[in-house]
Structure 1
Amino acid sequence: MNNFKLEVFTDYVCPWCYLGDSRVKKLKQVYEIDIELVHFPLHPETPIEGRKLLDLFRSSQKDIDQKNQNMSELMKKEGLPYNNRTYTFNSRLAQEIGTWAETLEKNSSIHDYFFEAYFVHGLNIGLENVILEVVEKSGLDMKEAKNIIKNRLFSDVIDQHWKKSASYGVTGVPTYVYNKQSIVGAQPLENLFQFLDFFNVPKK
């Protein structure tokens, strides 16, 4: 832990966050900075069974296909696997488990696996069985994860994340905050470098 911290507001069902996560990893390779993930309620009203993107965006199938094509091209350039989406899902419980994982030493992979489950395999990450598959793939304790889900032990923590998002005035993700200054969106890596350089964040 050092004195240089970048807060990243994010959600597992946000494609721009998936893209941004890849760029944050590259930042970590260059700068002496800690990353604090703050989970954001992108579509908190989404039912447990999910919601069609057609309904979410109130658009035509042609528009959805174009969005998927554009996103697929961006992901390919970034070197990220991606399959066309038809649904969005409720990420609240996944956020709770992801936050639990951050309290453990072995925590780095679970965020990747949640993104993979949704953006590559199209799985409903709002479902307990899918979340537990991600937990198992991450090598984390299944029994403890089941207890956390059953008793919602990290619900209050995510409530605080959502309140923090509101208090910071975050309305879209990803949002990057350093020293109370922010930039929004899946910024090019060069922009993120410039952002940290402005604050004289040391390089490795």
Structure 2
Amino acid sequence: MTSPKLFIDVWSDFVCPFCYLQTPVLDQLRNAYGDAVEIRWHAFELRPEPTPLPNANSDALIDTWEKSVYPLATERGMTLRLPTVNPRSRKAFETAIFARESNRYDLVHRAIFKAYFEDGIDIGDTDALLDIAATCGIDPELLEESLAEGEFTDLVIEDEDFAKSIGVTGVPFAVLSREAAPGEEPPPPIALRGAAPVQHFEAAVERLFPDGFPG
């Protein structure tokens, strides 16, 4: 297996449609670079307690979907539906982190996004999360115990605290970086805000690897 040469850290929220719409772009990079790229997802709650939850039927939300979400979904070959519920996402993040223990993070991560934006499932509901995880091969009883105890709450908060320390105010937010070449300083990381197209990522890779990506 190739050692990672390019690191992409992505802060996102399961309730953000633009974060879900970023997944096919990251898939393209993973397909292009294989094991030479490591994509690391991080939590960023847009609606943590006690932030008021938005109205799922608000004109502003519907307008955003009509003007921005649906066109981008069409462009990226995805089918999203405006959810009828606006849940908090902390338990969903804890569920994904739990899945990492059994190497099923990517599977559960994708399944939670799909459940919310394609199937309209309330991913703030613990029973719903248990069902989603079970379809991915996760033991629902062990997960339920973990969620009840808040086993991974601190890791979610750590992700968010670090994001705030580097100035992340919205998601998706990606940081591309690389290890230093022998005897050299590493180039500064490159941040990409919003649902950036694959061309922006490729341009960042070219800046990080001016002599060509070795993957």
TM-score (normalizing by structure 2): 0.83
Give 3-state SS (helix, strand or coil) of 1:166's partner: helix
Structure 1 SS opposite 2:63: helix
1:33 partnered with 2:40: no
* Cα distance in structure 1, aligned partners of 2:50 and 2:70: 24
* Alignment gaps of 5+ in structure 1: 55-59
| Aligned residue pair count | 197
2:185 counterpart residue number: none
Deviation at 1:203, TM superposition (A): 5.7
Aligned to 1:193: 202
Post-superposition Cα deviations, 1:88-119, rounded to whole Å, max 9, x if no partner, equal 21000100111121232233211111111111
TM-score normalised by structure 1 residue count: 0.87
Q: How far apart, CA to CA, are the structure 1 residues paired with 2:174 and 2:51?
A: 28
Are 1:24 and 2:35 counterparts? no
Q: How far apart in 2 are the matches of 1:13 and 1:108? A: 17
Indicate the RMSD between aligned Cα atoms, in angstroms. 2.1
Q: Does 1:182 align with 2:191?
A: yes
> Is the 2:131–2:140 contact (alpha carbons within 8 Å) kept by the matching residues of 1?
no
Moved more, 105-114 or 129-138: 105-114
- Out of 105, 115, 136, which is 1:107 matched to? 105
CA distance 1:123–1:78, shift in 2 (3 Å):
same
1:66 corresponds in structure 2 to 63
- Residue identity (%): 24
- In the TM superposition, residue 142 of structure 1 has moved relative to its aligned partner by 1.4
Q: Is the 8 A contact 2:7 2:40 kept in 1?
A: yes
Give unmatched runs, 5+ long, in structure 2: 178-188
Q: After superposition, what is the alpha-carbon deviation per residue over 1:160-190, rounded to whole angstroms, capped at 9, x for unaligned?
A: 1111111111001111112333110000111
Match of 2:186 in 1: none
SS at match of 2:83: coil
Q: Name the aligned partner's letter for residue 171 of structure 2.
A: V
d(CA) in 2 for partners of 1:51 and 1:89? 9
Letter in 2 for 1:5: F
Alpha-carbon contact 1:98-1:110 (below 8 Å) kept: yes
Q: What is the CA-CA distance between 1:46 and the residue it aligns to?
A: 6.3
- Contact 2:4 2:37 (8 Å CA) reproduced: yes
